């Protein structure tokens, strides 16, 4: 899934305005200008659009965890250079303090059903035989479910 879509979706769902977003990045140790954010938040067919790379999205997701859960110890988490959908899903799970049942409920809000075993396979180490890559569709449905859970009135208005 495109990193820009993930950033836009989380911004919309959790009502992060232009003043709040740089602060979330800063909590994880990354300074981002309003001008750069504006480029990342544009649609890919708009003038001035720039893709947000994995490392920058990792800083945002780490800042989102700190925003929601608070700082752990005195050191900042290390932002990954390469993100997968599995890592994004794990970071969202941590930030929102979700259990497997909560995640299945969120996916159920958009009529997407998977078993608890299928979900747990996304959080295993890639070297384990039960590991499964999280496909774009699953992450997309999860982000839609988050929107429906945290911003239900606006989700229903779009349909």
**3 state DSSP class of 42:** coil
- Predicted confidence (pLDDT) per residue in 46-75, tens digit: 999 999 999 999 999 999 999 999 888 778
72 Cβ contact partners less than 8 Å away, ≥ 6 residues apart: none
- Using the Cα atoms of residue 75, residue 123, residue 69 and residue 110 in order, give the sign of their dihedral: positive
Given a cut of 60, is residue 112 above it in pLDDT? Answer: yes
Long-range contacts of 146-155 (CB under 8 A, 24+ apart): 146/9, 146/10, 146/13, 146/92, 146/96, 146/106, 147/9, 147/12, 147/13, 148/106, 148/109, 148/110, 149/106, 149/109, 150/13, 150/14, 151/12, 151/13, 151/15
Does 158 score more than 70 pLDDT?
no
Would you state the pLDDT for residue 132?
97
Residue range 112-130: average pLDDT?
96
CB contact at 8 A, 32 and 7: no
Distances (CA, A) of 57 to 81, 118, 155: 9, 25, 24
Q: Match 């890919």 to its residue by tokens.
A: 44
- Alpha helices in the chain, H assignment, sequence order: 3-13, 20-27, 34-41, 54-69, 85-95, 100-108, 116-121, 136-150, 152-158
pTM of model > 0.85: yes
Residue 137 has pLDDT above 90, yes or no: yes
The CA distance from 159 to 146, in Å, is 16
Average confidence score pLDDT of the chain: 94
């Amino acid at each position: 899934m495109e990193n820009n879509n993930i950033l836009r979706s989380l911004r919309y769902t959790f009502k992060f305005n232009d003043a709040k977003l740089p602060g979330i990045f800063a909590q994880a140790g990354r300074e981002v200008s309003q001008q750069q954010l504006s480029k990342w938040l544009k649609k890919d067919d708009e003038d001035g659009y720039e893709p947000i790379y994995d490392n920058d999205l990792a800083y945002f997701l780490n800042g989102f965890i700190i925003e929601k859960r608070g700082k752990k110890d005195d050191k900042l988490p290390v932002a990954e250079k390469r993100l997968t959908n599995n890592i994004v899903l794990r970071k969202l799970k941590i930030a929102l303090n979700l259990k497997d049942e909560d995640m299945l409920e969120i996916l159920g809000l958009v009529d997407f059903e998977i078993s608890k075993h299928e979900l747990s396979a996304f959080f295993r180490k890639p070297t384990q035989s039960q590991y499964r890559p999280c496909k774009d569709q699953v992450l997309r449905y999860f982000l839609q479910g988050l929107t429906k859970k945290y911003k239900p009135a606006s989700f229903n208005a779009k349909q």
